[in-house]
Amino acid sequence: MSPNTRKKMSGITSVTVYCGSANGADPRYPDLAHRLGIAIAKRGWRTVYGGGNVGLMGKVATAARDNGGKVLGVMPHFLRDLEGVLDGIENRYTDNMHQRKQALLDEADGLIVLPGGIGTLEEAVETLSWAKLSLHRKPMAFLSENNYWAPFFTLVDHMIGGGFLPESFRQLMADTSSPEAALDALHQRAIILD
């Protein structure tokens, strides 16, 4: 873990968004990503994301860019041709997925998890694992309007009930259903965690 991830936060100015490189089956997912990008830009916060120009990733970044927000895309070199690159934003390239995940965390004051697949889940779980190990104190909000993440929270509660996670683990993340609620949760948790 780099020293940058160990620093205490003084507020939210940059949000990393973990999300799918596909649009998903529900038309609400791309709309939610679009609205999140707009909401981040309206707050004057920077959007940091996985760098692709496809799926929910492309939707959130395009919306943030088109509404005057600063955007940083972080992508391994090998994904450039596969996922494309969004023009008009800052793009940074890494040698591998681990470096990408580290950069996504380093550049964030808080993190939002939109619907996505196994890669999105893996990013979120590793970030939570690092928080549990006290390697960072950055708040995270899961965002969906159709209870997409409900099974994940059920699993977390099961792990807490089984004695494998402390009850306090739930405080590391919020379960939200609107972009504004997700951003408010990050802001509120940043104050508590600081």
Q: Which two tokens stand for residue 153?
A: 């929270």
Task: State pLDDT tens for residues 63-98.
Answer: 999 999 999 999 999 998 888 899 999 999 999 999
pLDDT at 190: 82
The answer, yes or no, to whether residue 22 has pLDDT greater than 60, is yes
The answer, yes or no, to whether residue 3 has pLDDT greater than 80, is no
Cα Rg of the chain, angstroms: 15
Which residue ranges make up each domain of the chain?
12-193
pLDDT at 81: 85
Which residues contact residue 75 at a Cβ distance below 8 angstroms, ignoring those fewer than 6 apart? 50, 51, 52, 83, 85, 91, 92, 93, 94, 100
CB 62 within 8 A of CB 37: yes
In which band, very low, low, confident or very high, does the pLDDT at 120 lie, cut at 50, 70 and 90? very high
Rounded distance between C-alpha atoms, residue 32 and residue 55, angstroms:
12
In which band, very low, low, confident or very high, does the pLDDT at 193 lie, cut at 50, 70 and 90? low
- How would CATH label the architecture of 12-193? 3-Layer(aba) Sandwich (3.40)
Classified as helix, coil or strand, 73 is: strand
Q: Kindly report the average pLDDT of the chain as a whole number.
A: 92
CB 94 within 8 A of CB 78: no
CB 41 within 8 A of CB 69: yes
DSSP run (H or E) holding 61: helix 55-66
pLDDT at 140: 97
Rounded distance between C-alpha atoms, residue 78 and residue 146, angstroms:
33
Rounded distance between C-alpha atoms, residue 88 and residue 136, angstroms:
31
CB 72 within 8 A of CB 89: yes
Q: Which two tokens stand for residue 189?
A: 């948790």
CB 71 within 8 A of CB 59: no
Over residues 96-101, mean pLDDT: 96
